[in-house]
Amino acid sequence: MKPRIDLPAMESDDLLQRLQRTIEKLEAFNEIGKVLTSTLDIHEVLRRIMDKVQELLQPVNWSLLLVDPLTESLVFEIARGPGAERLQGERIGLEEGIAGWVVTRRRPLLVEDVRKDPRFSSRFDAATLFTTRSILAVPLCFGERSLGVIELVKGPKEAPFTEEDLQTLGTIADYAAIALENAWNFQKVQELTILDEHTGLYNARHLEQVLESEVKRARRFDRPLSVIFFDIDHFKLVNDHHGHQVGSAILAKVGEILRKTLRSVDVPVRYGGDEFVCVLPETSKAQALVWAREIRAALQRHPYVLDDGREIRVDASFGVASFPEDAQAPDELLRRADFAMYRVKQNGRGDVAAA
């Protein structure tokens, strides 16, 4: 007869608790796999990723940053927790802070006390008015591609993250990277029908869908929404004097400038010809006027350079309209912004006006 080994009650309880946590995690991972592969909507994928992160690891603040290869930066696509909404859409350099270190080296990182880690950047605490003490960050990688970072934060009052937390988040990140890659591939196919071939921006067909969706959201949640409508000044003269090939190159440059200037939540559109529209969610009229002036300044800072070294300086006329004060319907909002732009044209071009 084999001898019976009795574990002390405390040790037995601890073993049962660890076993229970393991079972719960396995069940959660199975659920995560099902959830993340049940949709190809990239925004829904991102939301579900962060919901599961919060459910399993219960951070105080948590965010998901994605790599923007055009600007070589990380963009806060989702930011949750106290004051985190101030980070939404913000960009950081690929070498900045913990997140930058993690994405460039494709390695996870656990920092129990950021006061002892020189890689920590305190400017995000200044923005959120939150005091960070412990950070957990893992890269989102698919093959050789670095897609982004999931970063979790705790304050001084909470127990720091553990190696077990790091393993859990790493498993979630593996699922998330596959789901993101699938969603992006699907999105690329869809975008072939809604992108302008000259600028890479969305086209007028997609603008209708975006405006309708954003107006509904703004009305439902009582949030501001603004539209910028602008037209390149004297563009016909450029085509007449330099040819349509140069004109097309200038349009492409305008598209590039818009992508680099605007936030990731904004929607830049080539409306047709030399007309462009920018849809700015969560943006008041006063803020939209600032953005319009910033776009104009960016156009002026980046002239188009011809093969012989001569420069073609680009300027534009801008109109701004906002929901709900200027219009309640999507088409009316666009019309009011267009009319404001037309007034600028009548008054000498190269300026910004509000509806």
Token output for 334 = 């666009």
Q: Where are the domains of the chain?
A: 9-191, 204-354
Task: Specify the pLDDT at position 191.
Answer: 66
pTM: 0.51
Helix axes 244-261, 235-242, angle to 10 degrees: 140
CA distance 249 to 242: 11
Tell me, what amino acid is at 49? I
User: The tokens 């001898």 sit on which residue?
Assistant: 3
**Predicted pLDDT of residue 194:** 86
Residue 334 — φ and ψ, nearest 5°? Answer: -65, -40
- What are the tokens at 355? 């509806």
Provide the residue-wise pLDDT of the chain in tens; the chain has 355 residues: 455 555 455 566 677 776 766 666 667 667 767 666 666 677 777 788 788 888 888 899 999 999 988 778 999 988 999 988 888 888 999 989 999 999 999 999 999 999 999 999 998 898 899 999 999 999 999 888 899 999 999 999 999 999 999 998 998 888 888 888 887 777 777 666 788 988 989 999 899 999 999 999 999 999 999 999 999 999 999 999 999 999 999 999 999 999 999 998 899 999 999 999 999 999 999 999 999 999 999 999 999 999 898 999 999 999 999 999 999 999 999 999 999 999 999 999 999 999 9
> 1 burial class (0-12, 13-18, 19+ CB within 10 angstroms)?
exposed
Q: What share of the chain is helix, strand, coil (3-state, %, to 5)?
A: 50, 20, 30
Predicted pLDDT at 11 = 62
Of 321, 323, 81, nearest in space to 222 by CA = 323
CATH superfamily ID and name for 9-191: GAF domain (3.30.450.40)
Per-residue pLDDT, 145: 86
Same fold, 9-191 and 204-354: no
Distance (Å, whole) CA 329 – CA 347: 27
Rounded to 5 degrees, φ, ψ at 276 are: -130, 150
State the pLDDT at residue 343: 96
For the domain bounded by 204-354, which CATH number is listed? 3.30.70.270
